[in-house]
């Protein structure tokens, strides 16, 4: 089953707002502060990756990709378009970006 979306909306988690843009099967979440959004996905710092795994698998099954970016830099990609590499060993369909993404892992 494949879905496709188009449009833009604001998403607020824990008082922090991000812009979610959908273009066909790619969703881009542009954040100023990634922490509440990562926590909503289950977080990668907690040691409990069940929610993140489930979100990545669900997006993959639906043929969707979610990319989280901050200041134009990719923090992570989950779902169909993720090229997992080492991150895929822990969470299938997860790709961790560079730079800022290290803060997601270390808090």
What pTM did the predictor assign?
0.81
Please report the beta strands in 14-88, taking only residues with DSSP state E, as ranges in sequence order: 16-24, 26-30, 65-70, 73-79
Give the C-alpha separation, 61 to 15, whole Å.
Answer: 30
Taking alpha carbons only, the member of 75, 64, 67, 83 closest to residue 101 is 75
pLDDT in tens, 52-61: 888 889 999 9
pLDDT confidence of residue 18: 95
Please tell me whether residue 60 adopts helix, strand or coil conformation: helix
Residues of the chain with pLDDT under 70: 1-2, 43-48, 86-87, 98-107
16-36 in b/e form (b: 16+ CB < 10 A) is eebebbbeebbbbbebeebbb
**Contact by Cβ (8 Å): 11, 18:** yes
């Amino acid at each position: 089953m494949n879905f496709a979306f188009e449009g833009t909306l604001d998403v607020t988690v824990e008082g922090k707002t991000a812009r979610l843009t959908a273009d066909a099967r790619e969703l881009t979440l542009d954040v100023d502060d990634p922490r509440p959004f990562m926590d909503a996905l289950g977080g990668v710092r907690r040691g409990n990756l069940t929610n993140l795994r489930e979100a990545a698998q669900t997006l993959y099954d639906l043929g969707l990709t979610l990319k989280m970016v901050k200041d134009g830099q990719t923090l992570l990609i989950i779902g169909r378009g993720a090229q997992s590499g080492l991150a895929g060993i822990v969470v299938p369909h997860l790709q961790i970006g560079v730079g800022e993404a290290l803060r997601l892992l270390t808090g």
